Each structure stands twice: as C-alpha cells, then as structure tokens.
Amino acid sequence: MLVPVLIYGACLGTMAVLATGVNRLTAIGGAVFLVSDGLIALDAFVSGFDLPAEGFWVMATYVAAQVLIVAGVLLEDTAAPTAPTTPDAVRAR
C-alpha cells in the first residue's frame, strides 16, 4: 500500500497547491480537503488515534472543502471577462 498512498498523497498535495492559484476560497477549500483526508489517514495509520465522532468530522470537513472549492471556482468564473467567440468578433480584435 505504500506506493498507492504516496501517489495519492502527491496528487492531494498538488491539488491543494494548485487551488491556491485560483483565489482565497479555493485555497481554503484545498487546505480543508487536506485536513479531511488527514483525519482519514490518522485513523488508518496511527494506532491509538481516536477522534470522537470521527465520521462526522471527516464528512463535515469534506463537504466544507467541496463547497469552498466550488464557490471559489464559480466566483472566479463569473469574475473572468468573457472572450468573444464569434468569428467576426475574433477577427475584430
């Protein structure tokens, strides 16, 4: 399981770093997503780790992360200027 866990960890870290390039909401969402998966990893790999209501905290951080990431992407999408898509408008530029 070492190699798949390392690959997943690298993908998760990459996602969190890339999320910082969108805006503050997505950056916070990426960090909260790391916390969510960190809680799962602690439970799976650290003997004696016992967080009360662990399932609740895992799901609460997961849902919060997804909401923040989606909100950040939607905010960025609505703030971005739209480029003309018709052939005439493209030639006029």
What pLDDT, in 10s, does the model give residues 66-93?
999 999 999 988 876 766 666 665 555 5
Q: How far is CA 16 from CA 54, 62, 85, in A?
A: 22, 13, 32
Amino acid 76: pLDDT: 86
Least confident stretch, 30-39, 52-61, 71-80 = 71-80
Write down the pTM of the prediction.
0.76
Dihedral pair phi/psi, residue 87, rounded to 5°:
-60, -40
| Domain map (residue ranges) of the chain | 2-80
**Nearest in space to 30 (alpha carbons), one of 65, 61, 72:** 65
